[in-house]
Amino acid sequence: MTSSCFVEMLQLILVLVMWGDPSGGMRGPHHPRGHYHHQPRSDTKLTQDTQLLRDVEHIKEDLGEWGMSQEAVHKMTPEEMDFHYFKLHDFDNNTKLDGLEILQAIHHTIHKEEEERASHEGEGSGSHNPDTKSSTEDDLPYFIELIDQVLAEDDQDNDGYLSYIEYVIGRQREQSKQEAVKRSLHNHESTK
């Protein structure tokens, strides 16, 4: 089987699995109708999207199912939030995220109830943000592109997985770059 045929078959399977059910099979009992989480932006790498990775409400809901108190979640450091986000989406407990687990994490985070979306679109609110994507079948190539970017940049041993160490190093590397840019801009403005 050629690699392009394999990729097409994988995409078809993903579409059928992820979106075959109207709820996407993603909304558990802890996700009531009309419940929204952050949506990834096209201009931010997934592992750098702090709002996505540290969605306190999302993590609080999921950890609450594991018996962790809301108070304990609110006391977490940013590093602990990152760890729990990673661990919550490592479904096979191998301390690595594969593309499907990352896709599941994205879909879980941005899920919406179809009726809610239809009712909002019917209102003509005009509040569509072009930098965000809704969770539809049409977005699968977009999500795959985001995931491929993360794996290409952060999967240091090229095994097709993002280990927790690679995840942390990738986040730190990008944060260091962002801080260097901020310092450079600050230094440039202070010399004026």
Q: Is residue 101 part of a domain?
A: yes
- pLDDT greater than 70 at residue 72: yes
- pLDDT greater than 50 at residue 173: yes
Q: Do residues 64 and 52 touch, judged by C-beta distance below 8 A?
A: no
- pLDDT greater than 60 at residue 170: yes
Average pLDDT estimate for 169-181:
82
Average pLDDT estimate for 154-172:
94
Q: Is residue 8 part of a domain?
A: no
Please give the Cα distance from 170 to 155 (Å, whole number): 9
DSSP secondary structure string, 93-141?
-SSEE-HHHHHHHHHHHH---HHHHHHHHHHT-----TTB--SSGGGHH
Q: What is the CATH number of the domain that holds 108?
A: 1.10.238.10
Q: Which pLDDT score, from 0 to 100, does residue 123 have? A: 52
Residue that wins the pLDDT comparison between 20 and 143: 143
Residue that wins the pLDDT comparison between 61 and 135: 61
Q: Is residue 24 part of a domain?
A: no
Q: Which pLDDT score, from 0 to 100, does residue 153 have? A: 92
Please give the Cα distance from 83 to 39 (Å, whole number): 20
Average pLDDT estimate for 145-171:
93
CA 140 from chain centre, in angstroms, equals 13
pLDDT in tens, 36-57: 445 555 556 666 565 555 566 7
Q: Is residue 2 part of a domain?
A: no
Handedness of CA 7, 154, 44, 110 (dihedral sign): positive
Range of the domain at 40: 36-190
* Tally of domains within the chain: 1
Q: Is residue 178 part of a domain?
A: yes
Q: Is residue 30 part of a domain?
A: no
Token pair for 67 = 């018996």
pTM above 0.75, yes or no: no
Q: Is residue 31 part of a domain?
A: no
41: DSSP letter: B
Distances (CA, A) of 76 to 25, 60, 80, 162, 167: 29, 11, 6, 23, 19
Instruction: Output the furthest CA–CA distance in the chain (Å, rounded).
Output: 61
- Listed in sequence order, the residues at least 6 apart from 141 whose beta carbon sits closer than 8 Å to its beta carbon are 11
Q: Which pLDDT score, from 0 to 100, does residue 12 have? A: 57
Helix-then-strand count for the chain, H and E = 9, 2
Q: Which pLDDT score, from 0 to 100, does residue 56 have? A: 62
- pLDDT greater than 70 at residue 23: no
Q: Is residue 28 part of a domain?
A: no
Least confident of 58-62, 117-121, 135-139, 158-162: 117-121
pLDDT above 90 as % of the chain: 19
Please give the Cα distance from 137 to 144 (Å, whole number): 12
